[in-house]
Amino acid sequence: MLHFTGASSVQEILAASISPSITSSISGNAPAELKGMAIRWYDLLHQRGGYVRQIREKLTITEISLVSKPGEERGAQVKMVCELDVAPETCSSAGILDVGCIGFLVDEGSSIALQLLSILQKGSPHMGVSQCLNLQFHGEVAQGGKIIIVNRSVSKKTDVGCCTSEVWEVTNARKLVASATHLVVPSSMSPALKQEISTRQPQARL
C-alpha cells in the first residue's frame, strides 16, 4: 500500500524524506529520488479528500522504470506500475470494477508518470491540466480480483504531455481491462505557486 508522509501542507509533503526501505520495495531502474517523488505526488493528491481516499490508500506502486527505445536517449519514457485489489469500494452495485474508478486510477497514475518524466527531462514538475483523457474498455473485473495499472509517459519535451495507460486483470490469466491516452496541457496555476513547488522538488539523478 502507499506510504504517506503524514504531512499536511504542500511544503511539508515536498520536503518530507522517504525511507530507503520504502523506495527499495519499488522495483525498476529509476533512481530512489524519483520513486520518492511518486509517493510525494500521490500524497499531495491524497490531501484533496473525497471518497477516493480509501481506494488510494490501498494502491501499491510496484515498479518505476526509465525506458528507452532504440535510438532514444536514456529515460525517454517513464513507466510506473501500480497494483490494486478489487474491493467493494471500487465496484458498481453489480460487483464489477466501476468504470469511474478505472478513470480515477488512470488519471492520477498517468499524471504522476508525466510529472516524473518532466522532472527528469526539465528538472521541474509539469503543472498541467487534462486536455483529454480517452478511455477504452475491453473487459470486466469482478470483486475479489486484482489489477495492475501500467502508465507510460511517452512525451514531455514540449508543454503538452502525453501518457498511455493500460489496466490489466492479473487474478489468474492476464486480461486487458482498459486502455487510455492522456494529454496534459499547461495550467493557469499562479507563477508563484509553480515556482514554490519547483524549488522544493528534490532533483533526480540518472
* pLDDT bucket at 23, cuts 50 / 70 / 90: very high
Range(s) of the domain holding residue 184: 10-200
Q: How many domains does the chain have?
A: 1
Write out the three cell numbers for 167.
489496466
pLDDT at 73: 64
Whether the Cβ atoms of residue 147 and residue 98 lie closer than 8 Å to each other = no
Please indicate, yes or no, if residue 4 is contained in any of the structural domains. Answer: no
For 28: left if phi > 0, alpha if psi spans -120 to 50, otherwise beta; the answer is left
> Mean pLDDT, the chain, as a whole number?
84
Percent of the chain past pLDDT 90, that is, above it, reads: 53
Please indicate, yes or no, if residue 98 is contained in any of the structural domains. Answer: yes
Please indicate, yes or no, if residue 206 is contained in any of the structural domains. Answer: no
Please indicate, yes or no, if residue 3 is contained in any of the structural domains. Answer: no
Summarised one tens digit per residue, pLDDT across range 170-192 is 998 899 999 999 988 877 654 55
- Residues of 27-49 as b/e, b for ≥16 C-beta within 10 angstroms? ebebbbebbbbbbbbbbbebeee
Q: How far apart are CA 157 and CA 150, in angstroms?
A: 21
- The owner of cell 497494483 is 83
CATH number at residue 122: 3.10.129.10
Summarised one tens digit per residue, pLDDT across range 24-39 is 999 999 999 999 999 9
Please indicate, yes or no, if residue 5 is contained in any of the structural domains. Answer: no
How buried is 54 (Cβ within 10 angstroms: 0-12 exposed, 13-18 middle, 19+ buried)?
A: exposed
